[in-house]
Structure 1
Amino acid sequence: MSGKFTAAQRAVINRKSKPKHHGPDDGGGELNIVPFLDIIMNVLIFILASVATIFTATIPVPAPSSGPRPNSQPDTRQRLNITVKVAPNGFIVGAGGGFLMPGCRTVGQASLTVPNRGMPDADGSSHDFAGLTQCMVAIRQQWATEVEDDHSINVSPNGDIPYGVLVKTVDAVRESRGDACRLPENGGQGNYSSPDCLFPEVTLGVLRN
C-alpha cells in the first residue's frame, strides 16, 4: 500500500484540520454587550434631557411680628384676624370671628365677599382683584381703630388655584397704590404709614378640599 495520499484525501485532511470560526448565531461564542451599552446610554441621555427644570419664584412678603414692640404698652384692642380665602368662584373674607358681606363693612353668614367678574382678564382669570383691594380699603375705614397698627393678613388659596392668581391676590391686599408700602430690607424697618398701604404682612396658607 502506498504511503502517499491522494488529492481528495489531502483536501479532506486540510478541511478537518482548520479551526472553526463561530458566527454570531453560534452558541459557543462570547456575548457582545457593546450594542446593549450603547442603547442604555442613549436611553439615559434621553431621560436626562426630558427632565423639566422647575423654576420657583419668591413672593416678597415680610414676616408678621410675633412679639410685642419695644417700649410699647400692652395692646388691649381685639384683633380682627383678617383672612382671605381664594376660591375658584371668588374671595371669602373673614374678620372678627365671622365673614364679611359684600361691601366689606358688615359681618354675616359665610358667603362670597367678592365674587368673580363676568369677563376674564388677559391672563384668563375672572377673580376681581380690584374689588378685593376696595374691600381692604373698606376694612381699614370701617374698623380703623382695630387695624390702626395691624397690617397682617392671612391668604389661603384652594389647592387648584393657579399660582398667578395667588400672586395677584397678595398684591391686591397689600396696597391700593403701587409702592405705597415700603417693605423692610436687610433687617431694617419697613414703612406702612401711607393710607394706601393696606395689609402687607401676608401669611400664606392652603385650604384643604
Structure 2
Amino acid sequence: MVKILIADDEKDIRDIVTWYLSREGFEVFAAADGHSAMDIETSHLPDLLILDVMMPGLSGWEIAKMVQRNVPIIFLTALNDENDKINGFKLGADDYISKPFSPRELVARVHVVLRRTGKLALPGNVLQFPSVSLEPGTQRVMVNEKVIELSAKEFELLYFLARHPLTIFTRENLLVNLWGYDFEGDERTVDSTIKRVRKKIGVAGDFIKTVRGTGYRFEVDKP
C-alpha cells in the first residue's frame, strides 16, 4: 500500500485530506507540526509528502531540506506568491498547490506525481472477463488466448476502465487520471487512444462503451 504523509497545523485540512486519500486506498499519516512530520518521515518512510509551509516547530521548507532520501513532495500552502512557488520548486517540490484548494484536484495531482515518480504501479490483480484477461505485471492483454500488443498508455487506459466496470468517466476524468493535469493535449487524445485500443483488441473492444455526450464506461456484455 502506498503511504502518504499530510503535515498541516489545521485539523480540518488534515482530516479532509486524510479522508479523500484513504478513500483512494492510500495509507495516510497525519502530522500537526514539523517535528511530528519528521518523526513520521524517518520512521514510516512514506512514498509521498504533502507539506504545509507555515507549521509550528519546522516549516515545510525546512522539512524539504532535511529529508535525506528521494521522495516526492507536494507543497499545500496559503503562500501563493510567485516567489514562494519558485522557492518550493527549487527545494525539489514535485507540485505546489495553493490554499484554498479542491480535495478532488489534490487527489488527482497525487496520482500524477506518484505515477511520474514511479511510486504508483498498476495494481497487481489480473482482471478476467469472458474471452479477455488483463495482466498488469506484464501489461499483457489476452483475447481468446491470443496475446495482443498494446502501448503502455493504451494498456493503462484499458486497465483503468476495466478496474471500474459500469463507472462512467468523462474525457476530462480520463485525461486527469491517466495523462495528468499538466498534459497539454485535448480530449481528442482520449478518443484516439480508445479507437486504437478497440481496433487492436477486436471484438473485445465492444466492452468499451461510448456514453454519448459524456465519455466512456467498461461493460461486459452478458452471454
TM-score by length of 2: 0.22
- Larger-Rg structure: 1
Higher relative contact order (CA 8 A, sep 6+): 1
Higher strand share: 2
More helix, by proportion: 2
